[in-house]
Amino acid sequence: MSDVNSTTPDWRSEINFDDKGLIPVLAQDASSHRILMVAWMNRDSLEQTIDTGKAVYWSRSRDRLWRKGEESGHEQIIDEIRLDCDGDVIILMVKQMGGIACHTGRASCFYRTLQNGQWVEVDPVIKDPDKIYNLD
Amino acid sequence: MSDVNSTTPDWRSEINFDDKGLIPVLAQDASSHRILMVAWMNRDSLEQTIDTGKAVYWSRSRDRLWRKGEESGHEQIIDEIRLDCDGDVIILMVKQMGGIACHTGRASCFYRTLQNGQWVEVDPVIKDPDKIYNLD
């Protein structure tokens, strides 16, 4: 190991996980730069994301690792990983397989805009969720 | 009030604030689509953001409303507000005054990328923070 490497802090030490050991992660489309979704990672899921080159989140509702696309096939291929100044938010720049990130069958989870005091759905459903998740 | 309006739920009811009454908010540059920063809002700050057309966050460290740019002049003018499918993350599409969102004097807080196991600073400091915050 070189002197440079031995004196450079480990990348993990720069990350400030919260009191539950989690960090919020934004997935952004590397081509369109659209924000696709926000999820959570723990240290294990982040390490697996880096090792495999595909997004692996921590599902708070299911309390387990969530390999994005494991059911839908809508994997996210990692292009770049960024960290913010406080070390407490991560951006994944990704290639979104299938062009659908949201469980509602839309490109992005952010499909509602505020217009005159109402949330208005402005993005189409690309694929019926029943056809995404019920494959048999 | 029309029948339509009287039966449409209030926009506030669609938002799922966390157990501290907060929701994470991503600010994205409306032109470049770059993610500038992530901060928090409570209901009051979100209402003030909507009313004034400028980003007003909740500072967790200072435990008070934080009118973005109140010291730096780097206000964020609201172009669009989006909500995700779970109602627990908001995107602000903004015009970033001064072209600087980060307290380090950079365009974005996400100026570090992971390269070969190291966080590498890839974006320049546009303005010395001392010159941003110490005006006298």
**What letter does residue A97 receive in the DSSP assignment?**
G
CB contact under 8 A, B14 and A103: no
Mean pLDDT, rounded, of chain A? 92
CB contact under 8 A, A86 and B109: yes
- Give chain A's contact residues with B (Cβ, < 8 Å): 8, 10-11, 14, 24, 26, 28, 32-35, 37-38, 50, 80-86, 89, 91, 102-104, 106, 109-114, 117-119
Least confident of A7-11, A105-109, B84-88: A7-11
Interface with B, mutate which of A22, A33, A90, A110 (most B CBs under 10 A): A110
CB contact under 8 A, B114 and A14: no
Does A76 have pLDDT greater than 70?
A: yes
Strands (E), chain B: 23-29, 35-41, 56-59, 64-67, 76-83, 90-96, 112-115, 118-121
CA neighbours closer than 13 Å in the CB half-sphere of residue B94: 32
pLDDT-based confidence at residue A94 (cuts at 50, 70, 90): very high
Does A1 have pLDDT greater than 50?
A: no
Per-residue pLDDT tens over the stretch A12-45: 999 999 999 999 999 999 999 999 999 999 999 9
Does A134 have pLDDT greater than 70?
A: no
Tell me which residue of A40, A80, A81, A33 sits closest to B33, measured CA to CA: A33
3-state secondary structure of B108: coil
In tens digits, what is the pLDDT along chain B, a chain of 136 residues? 444 545 567 899 999 999 999 999 999 999 999 999 999 999 999 999 999 999 999 999 999 999 999 999 999 999 999 999 999 999 999 999 999 999 999 999 999 999 999 999 999 999 999 998 865 4
